Each structure stands twice: as C-alpha cells, then as structure tokens.
Amino acid sequence: MNLKKNFLLLFISLTTVAMSEDSAVSFKFYGFVRNDIFYNSRQNVESTDGAFHLFPKPVELLDGKDKNAVSQAEMLSVATRLGMDITGSPILGAKSSAKIEADFSGFSQNFYVMRLRQAYTKLNWSNTELLIGQTWHPLFGSVMPSLTNLNVGAPFQPFNRSPQVRLKQNLWKTISLTAAASYQMQNLSQGPIGSSPTYLKNSLLPDLFIGAEGKTSHWTSGIGFDVKTIKPSVEKLTSSSAIIYTQYVNKSFQIKAKSLWGGNLSDYLMLSGYGITDSINGNPTYTNFNISSSWLNVVYGSTFQAGIFLGLSKNFGTNKLLAANTGNIFTAYGYGYYQDTQQLLDRLIRIQPYICYNFPNLKVGLEYDLTSAQYGTLKSDGLVSSPYNINNTRVVLSVSYLF
C-alpha cells in the first residue's frame, strides 16, 4: 500500500514540476467510474471475469450433461478508466501532443490491477499526422459501434490496441491516406505456446496496414488492407485482410456498418486462426482459416438513446487441406476451436438492442444480447460437419459517472 501511495505522490510531483517548468505544456484529465451488472444464460468465451463477452462455449458433455449449460451473474467495477491528454510546445513546426490512458482490467494472481490502454505521442503538421505509441489498431478504425457492452461489438468488430508507428496524410479536404506498422502487446496471436507476441516478433516483420478514408460533415467512409507475417515455429505464415466501412451521423440519428474479410484474426479477438497443413523437412507448415465478419448499428436519440446492433461472422475454411495426425486429429490455433473435441465455431450471429439515458455526468445503459453460435466437427478443408446451434442470452446494466 505504501508503494502505491508513493507512486501516486511521485506522479503528482512530476506533473506539478513539468507544469511549472514549461508553461506551454497543459494537461487534461478525463475518464469515468463504471459499474457493470450482467447475466449470461450459459458459459462463454470471455475476459475480465465476464465483463468482456465474446461468444457462447460449445456443448461439452460431462457425465451426460453439458457442463457449459450453467447461468452466471456478476457485478464488476474494473472497467473504470483514467486518462490524460497532454499538449506541449511545437516540435519541428508541428503541434505536439500525447495521451496516457489506463483502466483497472489488468490482472495478477489474486486481484485486478491498473492496465495500460493507450500511450502515444503525436505530431500534427497542416496536412500530416505522425503517431508513435500504443493506441487502437487501424482495423478498429474511426467507425465503431455505439453500445453499452464493454466489448464494442467484438468479435464482429476488430478489437485491438497495439504499439505502432502511424502516418496519416490529408490529400484533399475530405480524403486522407493512412499507413501503419504495428506490433503486439496485449492483443496477441495464438499458437503452439498459447497467446504470445513471440510469433510476430520472430518473423522480424511488423503488421502492415494501408487505408484511405473520406470524411464530410455527415459521412465517414473508408477501406483498408492489412498484412501480417508470424513465425509459430520454423516456417512462417502470412495472412491478409481487407475492410470496408461507412457511417452516417445527422443530429440524433446514426447508422454505421463495417465488413471484413481475412484470415488468422485471433489477435483482433475475432474468429479464425490457422492450422497445420503439412511439413517441410519435418517442420510443420501452416494455412489460414478465412472468415467474413460484418455488422450494422443503428442509433437514435441524444439524451435518451435507443439502438440495435446486428452482427454476422462466417467461417470459409482453409487455403490448403489440414493434415491429420495419429487418430485423425487436426491441430489448429485460434478463437472458436477446441482441440480435444475437434469442434469449430463455424458461424456466429448477434442481435443486440439497447437503451441508454445520458444525464450531465451520468450514463445509464441497459442492453439485451442474443448470440447464436453454430459449432461442428472440423474437416480437412477447414469447414465443419454435423453443425448444431447453441445460444447465450446476456443482459447488461451499466452505470458510468463521466468526468
């Protein structure tokens, strides 16, 4: 406890000294105190003790009963967030700024701890912006759903914060190009040693993105392409994805949509991954699972809001045939695949209406989430046989005090 107090005092002291030494530096604190109460009708793939929900787990029989057919309810405050925006003196003719943002969703062995969300420096010239540090991956983008749920539409919406170098160039008043090179820290690829940044680091190549966006007073629309190379063992695997999105906002009415096609997207908390296809000199080679994922979000209102989110993800199999080992067992890595039972999540559908009331500093939201998952037995082409559906009903009440 003394260590935490000393750290807080040091932070306040450094901030005070910095402000006194450079009058051009300014600080603005922001954030919210958030409490979530939620119910699920069955067990789910999730994080943050269930506050961050992805999709329902498949049927897993234990003594003839589905061990995942168990309801749950919880209340958590760990999504509480604190951030600081910093502006300073011009550098190389550019406006300089920085951001530090954290929440309490990190974890140790026994309790939740403060976790870094964003930490970056930004330089802005008249038509050029350079960002260095950790922030949202460009595939998350400038168009995201408006929801009560903490997951912001995942796993239909790419969800990823990464350390990166990003350059944005305005071509005209309404058109810009963005190029970025990013690495992994919190949102990780999966593989033989579990979720790890090692696979991307060992490839020696960053994740590369390029995109174009048009923005007017009411419309925001764009496209983007992303390429990633990982090295799970000796052989490398390259995957690519493409995204298209649009948003229309006019006073109290919003309509947003995004669609993505790609492979090996587990580092974005999406379905798909990769599997072993054959070997070269005894070393396994890999092939991507390909998916499409799309969502639509419609919101109306300002003080009182009502909205609905619709999501669809579909597996389209692998680029090459998977290789089975002894016992006709396939080896693959990624969200929605269960090695022991050889079950694969093949299709996911979500219907998610919500209502929200915005007081001056208080936001109260109530959301209903019906997520339907279709599982089946994995085949060599990356598709499934004997599909069946399993559903989860989730209800979330969220209360946030914003400052």
| pLDDT tens string 5-34 | 444 444 555 455 445 455 689 999 999 999
Domain covering 35-76+127-402, topology: Porin (2.40.160)
> What's the confidence (pLDDT) of residue 325?
85
Ramachandran area for residue 382 (φ above 0: left; ψ -120 to 50: alpha; else beta): left
- Cα dist from 104 to 5, 78, 79, whole Å: 17, 5, 6
Place of tokens 């992805």: 54
Contact assessment for residue 356 and residue 363, using Cβ atoms and an 8 Å cutoff: yes
Confidence of residue 111 (pLDDT cuts 50, 70, 90): low
> What's the confidence (pLDDT) of residue 343?
97
> What's the confidence (pLDDT) of residue 187?
95
Confidence of residue 1 (pLDDT cuts 50, 70, 90): very low
Rounded Cα–Cα distance for residues 265 and 262 (Å)? 7
Place of tokens 């919880």: 74
**Which tokens go with 295?**
């969502």
Confidence of residue 109 (pLDDT cuts 50, 70, 90): low
The stretch 341-346 carries a mean pLDDT of 97
* Cβ-based burial of 246 (10 A; exposed 0-12, middle 13-18, buried ≥19): middle
Strands 304-318 and 343-358: antiparallel
Instruction: Flag whether pLDDT at 3 surpasses 50.
Output: no
> What's the confidence (pLDDT) of residue 373?
98
- Cα dist from 351 to 150, 158, 310, 356, whole Å: 16, 18, 5, 17
* Domain boundaries defined on the chain: 35-76+127-402
Rounded Cα–Cα distance for residues 364 and 165 (Å)? 36
The stretch 296-317 carries a mean pLDDT of 98
Largest CA distance in the chain: 70
* Cβ-based burial of 179 (10 A; exposed 0-12, middle 13-18, buried ≥19): middle
> What's the confidence (pLDDT) of residue 163?
98
| pLDDT tens string 380-402 | 999 999 999 999 999 999 999 99
Confidence of residue 328 (pLDDT cuts 50, 70, 90): confident
3-state secondary structure of 59: coil
| pLDDT tens string 54-75 | 999 999 999 999 999 999 999 9
Q: Where are the alpha helices (DSSP H) in 272-394?
A: none
Rounded Cα–Cα distance for residues 137 and 268 (Å)? 9
| pLDDT tens string 233-249 | 999 999 999 999 999 99
Instruction: Flag whether pLDDT at 143 surpasses 60.
Output: yes
Q: Fill in the DSSP letter of residue 94.
A: B
Read off the pTM: 0.92
